[in-house]
Amino acid sequence: MKKLLLLSLLSVPMLALGQAETPSNSINFCGMDIPTPAGCTPDSKYQVRCEGYQMTWMYLDYKMLTDFPEQFVRQIEKKHKHTERQPLECLILGQAAKGFRLSYPSETGMTYELIAYGVAKGQPVMVELTMDMDPEKTTDLPALPRQIVQLTK
């Protein structure tokens, strides 16, 4: 009986250790699990930070999709003086989307933001991609965001 009690006491910490959460190596975007590259850290269920860029996404409702992205961009323009804005036509998971291409000076040089919004897999969503380089075409985007957002130019 003592051996059985000792064995059960020793196995409890091992069970707890086996059930410890393992760090996630993927993100979930619109119901799709996408592996994150080495060097990327999910900051939350809706944000991932990698070397040279950060990507955040927000699930919206259809009504918010009409005016929220414009309000969001105006907040960025207020926060960062000398922001330049251009319209952006793109795809989100292969579906036609709209957006804005922003650029502004920051402490580390120029910062570039792509704000893309549309409906992907039936879900209204807005994606914010902040980088230290200005992408001209889809292949200029880092590997992870490229799986979600494609530029039409």
| Residue 1 lies inside a defined structural domain of this protein | no
pLDDT band at residue 6 using 50, 70 and 90 as cut-offs: very low
112-136: average pLDDT: 96
What residue numbers bound the domain in which 143 lies? 24-151
Full-model pTM: 0.81
Per-residue pLDDT for 146 more than 60?
A: yes
| Residue 10 lies inside a defined structural domain of this protein | no
State pLDDT tens for residues 85-104.
Answer: 999 999 999 999 999 999 99
Provide the CATH number for the domain around residue 79.
2.60.120.1690
| Residue 126 lies inside a defined structural domain of this protein | yes
CA 123 from chain centre, in angstroms, equals 15
7-27: average pLDDT: 46
| Residue 61 lies inside a defined structural domain of this protein | yes
| Residue 8 lies inside a defined structural domain of this protein | no
| Residue 38 lies inside a defined structural domain of this protein | yes
Mean pLDDT rounded to a whole number for the chain: 86
Return the closest-CA partner of residue 88 out of 109, 66, 114, 56.
Answer: 114
Distance separating alpha carbons of residues 22 and 24, to the nearest angstrom: 6
29-48: average pLDDT: 92
| Residue 114 lies inside a defined structural domain of this protein | yes
Q: How far is CA 12 from CA 3, 5, 9, 17, 88, in A?
A: 14, 11, 6, 9, 56
| Residue 13 lies inside a defined structural domain of this protein | no
Distance separating alpha carbons of residues 40 and 49, to the nearest angstrom: 6
Count structural domains, the chain.
Answer: 1
Distance separating alpha carbons of residues 123 and 126, to the nearest angstrom: 10
State pLDDT tens for residues 45-78.
Answer: 999 999 999 999 999 999 999 999 999 999 999 9
